Structure 1
Amino acid sequence: MTEFHVPTIDIGPYLVSGATARTSPDCAEVARRIDQACREVGFMQVTGHRVADSAIEGLAAALDEFFSLPLERKAAYRRDAGDNRGYAPPKSESLSMSLGVPPAGMMNDFYEAFTVGAEAGWYPGLDLPRSSYAPNTWPDAAPGFRAAVEEYFSEVTYISRVLLTAMADALGLDPGYFDAMTDHSIDALKMNHYALPEGEIELAGELMGMGAHTDFGILTVLWADQVPGLQVLGSDRRWHDVQPADGALLINLGDAMARWTNDRWMSTLHRVNPPIVDGRILRRRSAAFFFDGNHDAVIEALPGCYEPGQELYPPITVAENISAKVAGLKTGRAPAGADREAARVLAATAPSSAPAAPSAAPARPRVER
């Protein structure tokens, strides 16, 4: 069986300016490697992305500033029902329910999160639904948060579009093929914090930081601490630990791209196990940028990805696809087509190098900060 490996790809050639840069042999090699990674793993790490170190450092500082606030202060920014904006406290959701799979130990994911995203006001003249383009909530209790997050958001939005250009080349599509499907994209940045105050819970059975799921949109750009936790489900039905390399951003595909490519490319299942070392839950931070596409863009098999009559999925809009997954998360009823992923989660075995597991009757976890 092939050893599980998340490839590292230098996308620098796609950031070189000039009329012929995109048709260079270097870009062709990047596109080839992206196609291979998307076919075989559904995950990759990218270097040469030119996201400024200051933007990443600012993002990390913004997460620290907000998540270090007392819970009652953070709760003042709790997201409204139906709006994916603002604060979500620990144990308020379980992502595995988007596949109809109950959480391990019947306890919701213990991470807390803060989400910002594209607003309808960014696109004047378009009648965009609040459900996809809600206004942001900015925490005035963390005065440095907004500017740092907006800077990072801008940087990864650009990198996402560069990646989509390279992906169009990898699929043999015309230049700009996806432009009309992403010119008012539902973009969102979900900032996560994996830690619990001392004595917050007692570990009973398996504790899950973030349940097994696939992402919903086109692609995800993930910044994360180099702390254990992220696990990807391989074709061997095993969970494999993945940590970002120095200076790299992790990229994975979402359901929209898998459907567009008629499963030529993979929307890979992943989860976050709580980083428990010597009985302590280590603090872990991450920020997932979801590049999802226009709410009204139709997802149907792309040219060259299917033979007539062999389309695996019926046409669906980006917003409909996301809504189906979110409904599953809220109700526990798997959306149509999710039964395959749910079966894979239930059949998965232990990770290849799992973090130390708690004992059958563990003490209260300590949190290392």
Structure 2
Amino acid sequence: MSTPFTVPTVDVSPYVRGGTAEERAAAAAAFDEAARTVGFVQVVGHGVPEAVTDAFAAALDEFFGLPLEVKKRHRTPPEVNRGYAPPKTESLSLSLGLAPANRMHDFFEAFNVGAAVSDFPGLDLPEADYPENVWPAEAPSFRPAVEAYCAEAARVARTLTTLFADALGLPAGFFAGYTGHSLDVLRMNNYALEPGALELDGDLTGMGEHTDYGIVTVLWADQVAGLQVLGRDGGWHDVMPADGALLINLGDLMARWTNDRWMSTLHRVKPPIVDGTIARRRSAAFFHDGDVDAVIETLPTCVGDGSPYPPITVGEHIRAKLAGSRAGVANPEAAREAARVLAAQGGA
């Protein structure tokens, strides 16, 4: 009998409140086991105040509740990973090289903010990778609430990389050397569409099959069905956060770093259709991707019999992924991930 699919829960409070060496070692070991077997983890004890997430959820409602023509004022060109993205203007599966080029069919709408050149005045960073943020004046509570949550999500991400160093047998602070000016992005998603916006044909793609691109993703989400994770059994499994938990998954750069010891797990979003309408679902993914000029190559504790991954900079990797999802250019460098998706679809 196969083991039922579950997302493990890890209490990271020893890394938040300063636990004992034994407590930290237990948390690191539990995360390592989850990262090797599932690739998705629920973390509790993260210390994000409920007042911050409540205000953040209200801010999402304020912005996404605006008329579409108002939201579109804050749209940026595809190569600028900031601002508003209307429904059916992206295709996440193209980041894996799947789906026909220019078939932009994912029906979610989103708003992105992230690390900007102005955040690092002492560094000469490329504005193409660190563009300035766009803030909607029509939603006055949006910016302060989003910035407050973004700061908490960034703290959680960096707390996790401290845990990662322990779990992987690396020197304390190892990942700090790769994340001093990390390409961090907060993507806020909304899956409720206006009536008549599209035809409910039973085969809608909220967000296509994809792996995340960077080091680690911190995900806040409603307790609404829709997120599905590809298990080792080749099937898609529903995942929903427990009360107060954040969902954590690892990106392609961490898979490269660990020589696939840790999984960059394929996932997608297919919100259910209830009474002829799409069930409303909100989520916000904080992507902690690393410094644009950092070179990612197999960690010394993970080399084993060799690595299939050549060295790559964070910037090179992220640009290829974004060219797929946002600009409709299929990524040719993700054959291994694409093969896993096709196997789950029976080779279709």
Structure 2: 5+ residue runs without aligned partners?
Answer: none
Report what 1:361 is aligned to: none
Tell me which amino acid in the other structure corresponds to 1:4.
F
Distance 1:48 1:279 in 2: 38
Report what 1:45 is aligned to: 42
Report what 1:222 is aligned to: 219
CA contact (8 A) 2:214 2:251 kept: yes
**Secondary structure of the residue that 1:312 maps to in structure 2?**
coil
Distance 1:2 1:318 in 2: 36
Residue correspondence of structure 1 range 116-155 to structure 2 within 5 A: 116-155=113-152
**Secondary structure of the residue that 1:215 maps to in structure 2?**
coil
Report what 2:318 is aligned to: 322
Say which of 283, 295, 304 aligns to 1:307: 304
Off by >2 Å, runs of 4+ in structure 1: 277-280, 327-335
Say which of 294, 298, 301 aligns to 2:295: 298
Report what 1:10 is aligned to: 11
Q: Give the TM-score normalised by the residue count of structure 1.
A: 0.90
Distance 1:81 1:322 in 2: 14
Report Cα offsets for 1:27-69 as digits up to 9, x if no partner.
1000000100110011100001110101100110010000000
CA contact (8 A) 2:120 2:181 kept: yes
CA RMSD of aligned residues (A): 1.5
**Secondary structure of the residue that 1:294 maps to in structure 2?**
coil
Report what 1:339 is aligned to: 335
Report what 1:268 is aligned to: 265
Say which of 152, 157, 162 aligns to 2:159: 162
**Secondary structure of the residue that 2:317 maps to in structure 1?**
helix
Distance 1:107 1:189 in 2: 21
Say which of 231, 249, 254 aligns to 2:251: 254
Report Cα offsets for 1:189-229 as digits up to 9, x if no partner.
00000011111111346111000000000000000000000
Tell me which amino acid in the other structure corresponds to 1:328.
G
Structure 1: 5+ residue runs without aligned partners?
Answer: 351-369
Tell me which amino acid in the other structure corresponds to 2:11.
D
Distance 1:280 1:73 in 2: 23
Tell me which amino acid in the other structure corresponds to 1:25.
E
Distance 1:81 1:197 in 2: 23
2:62 equivalent to 1:61: no
CA contact (8 A) 2:42 2:241 kept: yes
Say which of 73, 84, 87 aligns to 1:90: 87
Distance 2:203 2:343 in 1: 16
Distance 1:151 1:107 in 2: 32
Report what 1:189 is aligned to: 186
Tell me which amino acid in the other structure corresponds to 2:135.
W
Say which of 208, 216, 219 aligns to 2:205: 208
2:31 equivalent to 1:34: yes
CA contact (8 A) 2:200 2:276 kept: no
Tell me which amino acid in the other structure corresponds to 1:270.
H
Report what 1:366 is aligned to: none
Distance 1:296 1:58 in 2: 35
Distance 2:114 2:104 in 1: 28
CA contact (8 A) 2:225 2:239 kept: yes
Q: What is the identity percentage for the equivalent residue pairs of Structure 1 and Structure 2?
A: 61
CA shift for structure 1 position 321: 0.6
2:244 equivalent to 1:243: no
CA contact (8 A) 1:101 1:332 kept: no
CA contact (8 A) 2:104 2:328 kept: no
Report what 2:283 is aligned to: 286
Distance 1:100 1:332 in 2: 8
CA contact (8 A) 1:239 1:349 kept: no
Distance 2:135 2:267 in 1: 29
Report Cα offsets for 1:77-98 as digits up to 9, x if no partner.
0023421110000010110111
Distance 1:90 1:175 in 2: 43
**Secondary structure of the residue that 1:207 maps to in structure 2?**
coil
Tell me which amino acid in the other structure corresponds to 1:320.
E
CA contact (8 A) 2:79 2:323 kept: no
Report what 2:68 is aligned to: 71
- When structure 1 is superposed on structure 2, of 181-190 and 322-331 the one drifting more is 322-331
Distance 1:16 1:244 in 2: 23
Report Cα offsets for 1:234-264 as digits up to 9, x if no partner.
0100000000000000000000100000111
Distance 1:81 1:271 in 2: 21
